[in-house]
A = this chain, B = another copy of it.
Amino acid sequence: MLVRNAADASSRHHSLRELGLNTSSNPIISLNEFTYKKGIEIYGEKEPAEYVYQVKSGAVRSYKLLSDGRRQIGAFHLVGDIFGLENGSEHRFTTEAIVDTTVRLVKRQSLELVAEGDAMVARNLLSMTANNLQHAEDHMLLLGRKTSLERVAAFLLEMDTRLTAAGILALPMSRRDIADYLGLTLETVSRALSRLQDLGILGFIGNTQRQIMLLDRHQLAALDDLQN
């Protein structure tokens, strides 16, 4: 069964306005913008969480590292997504711009101040955290129990609901990023994509596989079967 309704897709796409913030009515909140070049770190794990961010354009990865360099990407943040929202005082991931990226940022402290007095903002804070939790819970199932093909299929479906413009998927992240998100190696991801292509579940634009793929209704349904 293919689940792809608008409510599902939008539930993770809060805007700062959805958070209950509004520049004009809340003069405390300063909405600054900043641009990061491709590959540049936005903040590091364990740094004090001074700001909350919203992707205005571009894409961001957040990840944890083990001492020997093994990397686990916990989430990709696409246009409209809010990230860097922590309950504690420290960031729990490192984040980097995947491509040139512009973010809006809000001082964490001023956000907390507003939440203190405004129950709606407080509720939206909780709802955002709960959405992040749900994503992490689903991802645990993927990482713990799914095969490589199922993981890649699930990834494509997730990206499709989050950044598709009319059946065309233009992925901003590299094979290595995808692999580190799915708990695989880049070779395994590449092989899985080739296999999906052979199966006719996926089509690439241009004469080489570079980032852009097509997904029609039937292919999406086939992916949905595969991802379990």
Which A residues contact B (CB, under 8 angstroms)?
A: 64, 66-68, 70-72, 74, 86-88, 92-93, 116, 119, 122-123, 125-127, 129-134, 136-141, 143-146, 180, 182-183, 228
A124 CB to nearest chain B CB (Å): 11
The docked-state distance in angstroms from the alpha carbon of A183 to that of B137 is: 13
Q: In the complex, which of the residues B116, B139, B141 contacts A66, with contact meaning CB atoms closer than 8 Å?
A: B141
The docked-state distance in angstroms from the alpha carbon of A74 to that of B140 is: 7
The docked-state distance in angstroms from the alpha carbon of A123 to that of B71 is: 32
CB-CB nearest in chain B for A85: B130
Residues of B within 8 A of A139 (CB): 136, 140
A80 CB to nearest chain B CB (Å): 20
8 nearest A-B pairs in the assembled complex, by CB-CB distance: A87-B130, A144-B183, A136-B136, A143-B143, A72-B144, A72-B141, A70-B145, A133-B133
A174 CB to nearest chain B CB (Å): 17
Residues of B within 8 A of A132 (CB): 133
A-B contact pairs, 11 of them (CB 8 A): A64-B141, A66-B141, A68-B228, A72-B140, A87-B126, A87-B130, A87-B131, A122-B122, A129-B133, A133-B133, A140-B140
Contact A145 B71, beta carbon cutoff 8 Å: yes
The docked-state distance in angstroms from the alpha carbon of A145 to that of B73 is: 10
CB-CB nearest in chain B for A11: B88
A142 CB to nearest chain B CB (Å): 9
